[in-house]
Amino acid sequence: MAKRPPSPSSSGTLIKRARSNSPDGQTQQLVISSSNNERGIVRSIKRTSSLEAPIVSLSGAHSAEILSCRFDPSGQNIAACSADRSLSFWKTYPPNVNYGLLQSIHKAPILDFQWSLLHPLIYTVSADHTLLMSDVTTGERVRKIRAHRGIINTLDRTIAGGAGVELIATGSDDGTVRIWEGGDEGKKDCVAAFEVGCPVTAVCWSADGASVYVGALDNEIHVYDLRKQAQVSTLGGHTDTPTSLSLSPNGSYLLSPSFSSQVIIHDIRPFSPSPTRIHRVLTGAPAGFENTLLKGAWSRDDGGKRVAVGGADRMVCIWDVESGKLQYKLPGHKGTVTAVDFHPKEPIILTGSKDATMLLGEIEPSVAV
């Protein structure tokens, strides 16, 4: 019996990717050639960043879920913390090497971290109730503080106005938020402490460092004034626990995903036109049933025109803030996307997942209005 010849439409294709020799180096050619020696099709794709490829996978450093990942303030480096008690360091640009790994620096999963704004330090908090400060150049532990009586879920840092001192806020399951002095020579005792009354899941500093926003198990966002040492207001709207808080680059809005799969952008300007202070309600990123503290982020290369949150559907949603429309629904991970961050200078999004990997993705720049 003679074999049926393959039809032209069913023949396989080979796709080769190569950087073009264009002056700006930002155009990539896709060469699509068929297996039956037909003439290939060449398409040029406009690149929008300095990444080696439109999508870059960072894997191999962690053996358990990634709980937080962030660019450093310069955008040249990336760090990620994991349930395997380690903290990894990566180069953003080629060759994207994993140049550092701090293993077992805590006795329990590292739940959150922040790059220092003033010092070559990185701050980490853990389920072992401690706050650690590590030197990013040597990998050595600089300070260890037993900060809370319960699991520490979150932290944020700011520079105190005029004083040139870095302050760290930590939130814990023990129902308190505590303020610490950063740096390697800070005091061992906390600068201030606020009793929220229920487990704290998220903290975020105001732009001037005078107030702390606190998300808690009571579905409220509490606002504490550092000078008055007291709560001054609350932000409502959530029907379930906020999972993270993120301040817009201009300091006017607050992003808060929640366990209800609803993402709210709060207007925190002194005189808000909305009596509820709710600027946008965004949907599309399911929180799932695992009660994971999903971390959202604002775009920074365009001044905060977009926000992003990962979900239990293994996707990342990116919305336009002004219109509230969903711009991207990005696949690629094999587990819940736990954390996202935007590059400070280029249209690049970083995502971390329960599959123990990170992805760097290139997106289109925001259209100028």
In this predicted model, what pLDDT tens digit does every residue of 73-109 receive, in sequence order? 999 999 999 999 999 999 999 999 999 999 999 999 9
Query: CA 329, 334, 336, 337: dihedral to nearest 10 degrees?
Result: -50
Residue type, 324: G
- Domains in the chain, start-ordered, CATH in brackets? 64-287 (2.130.10.10)
Note whether 73 and 92 are within 8 A (CB). Answer: no
Helix spans in the chain (H): none
Across 57-81, average pLDDT? 97
How does DSSP assign 298-326, residue by residue? E--TTSS-EEEEE-TTS-EEEEETTT--E
Q: Are strands 316-320 and 306-310 parallel, antiparallel or unpaired?
A: antiparallel
Residues ≥6 apart with Cβ < 8 Å to 162: none
In this predicted model, what pLDDT tens digit does every residue of 228-270 receive, in sequence order? 999 999 999 999 999 999 999 999 999 999 999 999 999 999 9
Instruction: Say if pTM beats, i.e. exceeds, 0.85.
Output: yes
Query: What tokens does 125 get?
Result: 């908090």
